[in-house]
Each structure stands twice: as structure tokens, then as C-alpha cells.
Amino acid sequence: MATRDVTFNTGDSEQGIVPCLTRAQLASMGLNTASVSGMNLLADDACVPLTSMIHDATAHLDVGQQRLNLTIPQAFMSNRARGYIPPELWDPVLMPDCSIIISAEIVYRIGLGVTAIMHI
């Protein structure tokens, strides 16, 4: 769940108001936009008619909770691990200070008790 600004437009008499979501917004929510036929024909800033482009997709606005519930069939979603955060959303200030120290030592035994050690 995330907090975002969403624009709503008036739909027909049956729909009432409908959310205006762009391809970029839907992709950031996990929709695989390449899997939806005709999606690439829309302008970047165009409102995607989600419920007419994807069979069984729904959008329900709960005004009391100020929440938009989207239901999209799993076949149209990106395959991401639970808790995945895209790199473009990472905060560089909060990245841990990672440093890796690799030390390897190879020991050669050269007959009669002579040992040579090489550090890599």
C-alpha cells in the first residue's frame, strides 16, 4: 500500500468517476505494461482506461477511507519478489556503508618442509 495523488475524471452514468492513471503510475504499482495489448499506443501522459483494456480489472474508490482499490489479474502483473523496492526509489542517504574485504592465502608445500605463502 502506498500514498499517491490520483486524478479522477467523470465517466459515463454507470461508472461515475474513474481514476486517471498513466502508464508510469501503473508500472510503479507493479503492472507489466508490455503484457497489455494496446497500452504502448497511448501517450505517456494519457489516462489508461484500465477496466476496458484489462478484462476483469476493477477500480473501486472508498471515499470514507480515501482509498482506491485496484484489482488486476495476476497475469498482467510484474514478477517481483515480496518487498521488492526498485533501485530508482532507493534513498542513497539510508544505504548502509558496505565494504568488502577479500583476503585469500594460498599455501604451497614444496618438498622437505619448505612452505611458500602467497597473499592475493
Annotated domain spans of the chain: 7-77
CA distances (Å), origin 52, targets 39, 58, 64, 100? 11, 9, 26, 51
Q: What is the mean pLDDT of residues 13-32?
A: 86
Does the pLDDT value for residue 25 go beyond 60? yes
How many Å apart are CA 57 and CA 71, to the nearest integer?
5
Taken as a whole, the chain contains a residue count of 120
Residue 117: its pLDDT value, please? Answer: 53
Residue 116: its pLDDT value, please? Answer: 52
Summarised one tens digit per residue, pLDDT across range 70-116 is 999 999 998 878 888 777 777 777 656 666 666 555 555 555 555 55
Residue 54: its pLDDT value, please? Answer: 92
Q: Looking at domain 7-77, which CATH architecture does it have?
A: Roll (3.10)
Summarised one tens digit per residue, pLDDT across range 27-71 is 888 899 999 999 888 898 899 988 889 999 998 889 899 899 999
Residue 118: its pLDDT value, please? Answer: 53
Question: Where are any strands of DSSP class E within the chain?
Answer: 7-10, 17-20, 58-62, 67-71, 105-110, 114-119
Residue 82 is placed in which grid cell? 515480496
